[in-house]
Structure 1
Amino acid sequence: MNPKSLIAIILFCISSYIVTAQEVITNESIIQMMELGFDDTMIIDKIYTSDVKFDATIAGLGKLKKAGVSTEVISLVMEKSKQNTKSKTGIYFVNEDGEDKLIQPAVFSGTNDNKVAQRLVSNLINSKQKARLPRTKSNNVIKTNRPEFTFIFNPATTEVDNLQNGQGNVGIGGLNWWFRVASNPNEFVLVKLKVKERQNLREVITGKSSYISSSEGVDPKLAIGFDIEEIEGNKFKVTPTSLEPGEYAFLYQGQVPQGRQNQSVFDFSIQ
């Protein structure tokens, strides 16, 4: 085979892969496959091996029914509509352009424990565990004191079970596993971060210990309340109480699967 032919084949394979990777199956795709003569088995296989974006409203399901789509396929559409693709899970806010922006998790740069200092002051250990974020400002800037957030979850039982059984992170992004394990915003806490200008960081207290006892997690007294409205089975609108200008973050406070550490937060600035 000459070099030109080989290059042409390679380019064709790459382009075919890109088209396949970007393909998203919708209600219209299912109707189209039916009209082309695909049977239920082929349609179901295609749904399971593709990204999907289904309309599971009564109107959307009604169109499928009128088109002659089987009950089995419609049931799968309803099931898959509750499970957004991995790239869509997370916390979103509306930016200045009116677009939904995903808050990428920020990783704690380190922790600080003041046990030694407290021991010098008294014979009792009374310390605070602090988690720190680099920089004094978040990249996620919101210019309203009552923002609305959208939480999208994608709980996948088999993936969660595999993770908890120590079988790896099947299908769960390294910085996105919260939205596969959690099921609603009540498993997160909203806090205001303390800004340390001279140290160029933000921090939050994540635990306390004393001579008598110790505790992990954010103090409930520091948690900021928010309203939750269920939009769909795995999609929620979260509206905090009025927030004054400053630095804030959502922290996951639910059960941490075996082999994971909760070292990230979803931070934002109110201006």
Structure 2
Amino acid sequence: MTGAKIAKSIIIDRIKAGTNNFRLGADDMVALKQAKVIDAVFEEMFLVTENMPTLQNDDIIALHQGKLSQNIIIKRIQHSDTRFNTEPDALIALKMAKVPDKIVEVMMKPTRAAKVGKGSTNLIAGDLPPHPQNLPAPARSRFSEPGVYYEEYNPGGNYTQLEPTTTNQTRRGTVGESVANQYTAGMVGTSERVGLANPSANMVIKDNRPVFYFVFSGANRKDQNTVAENIFSGVASPNDFVLIRARVSNRGREITVGRSSSYSSETGFGPGAVPFRFRKISNQLYKVYFDDDVAAGEYAFFYNKGSEFSSSLKLYDFSLQNNTKPEK
């Protein structure tokens, strides 16, 4: 279908609609990449394929040398069983093969993507230890690049980066809104929603009250052009972001990022918005935390400037698993 230049949306819909079990070994993926299969299609294939071949070091080298993107290699790791060798000689071999450090970091501590079904609330059994809210702030040098990092509170104080998720699946309105607007001359308004295909984020956090660090670049003018497409140019602080709890269904996740009517327009508005606090550590580093426990569920930080939603959105999404039930 890719070779026939069928639209990406049609290919993805076909993958979702059919019964598929794709061959996704390293050689198969390299061949698909050479056939110009794009990352978004790879991601859909990962979601519907069970029992993908176990990954080993040689597979990662083959995928990297086959020019698969860093993001896709990481997601392939997260959707697979792995048998990596992380002894010094093996790490040297990965370095000699020019495998990016970020991929090697994931190989050192692979986290399997959670499979969350319809109606799941991400509630887990058993108590979780409380997350200390007063751990010493890390130095900016602890972070390799700008981004959003989760503070792990195990000995050593590791910081795990949330991989941004790209989406251009923006939808406007529902059938009910359309009918209501016909009778009210647009007073009811239309919601703007963003859909994420898979029902659960790859990044799984088990915590009742997580702590994050937002890392910006530049001592004076903070921007995150590394995030993509200049959408994040001029980001000033975490105050420019909103944390939204996604609605989950068998079709995936969905968040409302705006609402407009014939009388008003709101950006960043939507059910599921979660208030958070932040503290400035330096011009480049902010601590983001919560006053209360956060309910289990699927979440995403997104940039709250509707005027810059001209192309695809980048969201920092994560799956939060804990003992805290969401309010009804």
Shorter-chain TM-score above 0.5: yes
Residue 295 of structure 2 corresponds to residue 244 of structure 1 = yes
Alignment correspondent of 1:267? 317
Residues of 2 paired with 1:151 and 1:174: CA distance?
13
Q: Deviations over 1:121-175 (max 9, x none)?
A: 5523432111111211111111111000000111477897xxxxxxxxxx93252
Alignment correspondent of 1:143? 206
Residue 253 of structure 2 corresponds to residue 193 of structure 1 = no
Change (3 A) 1:184 1:192: same
CA RMSD, Structure 1 to Structure 2 (Å): 3.7
Residues of 2 paired with 1:234 and 1:113: CA distance?
36
Residues of 2 paired with 1:144 and 1:268: CA distance?
12
Residues of 1 paired with 2:268 and 2:216: CA distance?
22
SS at structure 2 position matched to 1:88:
coil
Structure 2 residue aligned with 1:101, among 160, 165, 181?
160
Matches within 5 A, 1:118-129: 118-121=177-180, 122-124=182-184, 125=186, 126=188, 127-129=190-192
Q: What amino acid is aligned across from residue 254 of structure 2 in structure 1?
A: E
Residues of 1 paired with 2:313 and 2:176: CA distance?
25
Q: What amino acid is aligned across from residue 103 of structure 1 in structure 2?
A: L
**How far did residue 228 of structure 1 move?**
1.1
Gaps of 5+ in 2: 1-94, 102-138, 322-328
Question: Contact 2:204 / 2:318 at 8 angstroms: preserved in 1?
Answer: yes
Residues of 2 paired with 1:89 and 1:176: CA distance?
15
Change (3 A) 1:147 1:178: farther
Q: What amino acid is aligned across from residue 225 of structure 1 in structure 2?
A: P
**How far did residue 208 of structure 1 move?**
1.7
Alignment correspondent of 2:24? none
Name the structure where helix makes up a greater proportion of residues.
1
Alignment correspondent of 1:113? 172
**How far did residue 207 of structure 1 move?**
1.8
Residue 276 of structure 2 corresponds to residue 229 of structure 1 = no
Change (3 A) 1:115 1:157: same
Residues of 2 paired with 1:159 and 1:232: CA distance?
11
Change (3 A) 1:155 1:217: farther
Q: What amino acid is aligned across from residue 150 of structure 1 in structure 2?
A: Y
Q: Deviations over 1:181-233 (max 9, x none)?
A: 2121111111111111x21x1111122233x3242422277431112122222
Identity, % of aligned positions: 27
Question: Contact 2:237 / 2:286 at 8 angstroms: preserved in 1?
Answer: yes
Residues of 2 paired with 1:248 and 1:255: CA distance?
19
**How far did residue 238 of structure 1 move?**
0.5
Residues of 2 paired with 1:204 and 1:220: CA distance?
7
Alignment correspondent of 1:76? none
Residue 263 of structure 2 corresponds to residue 213 of structure 1 = yes
Residues of 2 paired with 1:157 and 1:142: CA distance?
32
Aligned residues: 180
SS at structure 2 position matched to 1:243:
coil
Residues of 1 paired with 2:178 and 2:318: CA distance?
35
Residues of 1 paired with 2:316 and 2:246: CA distance?
11
Alignment correspondent of 2:225? 172
**How far did residue 179 of structure 1 move?**
5.9
Q: Deviations over 1:53-98 (max 9, x none)?
A: xxxxxxxxxxxxxxxxxxxxxxxxxxxx98x799510100034865
Question: Contact 2:164 / 2:227 at 8 angstroms: preserved in 1?
Answer: no
Name the structure where strand makes up a greater proportion of residues.
1
Change (3 A) 1:260 1:118: closer
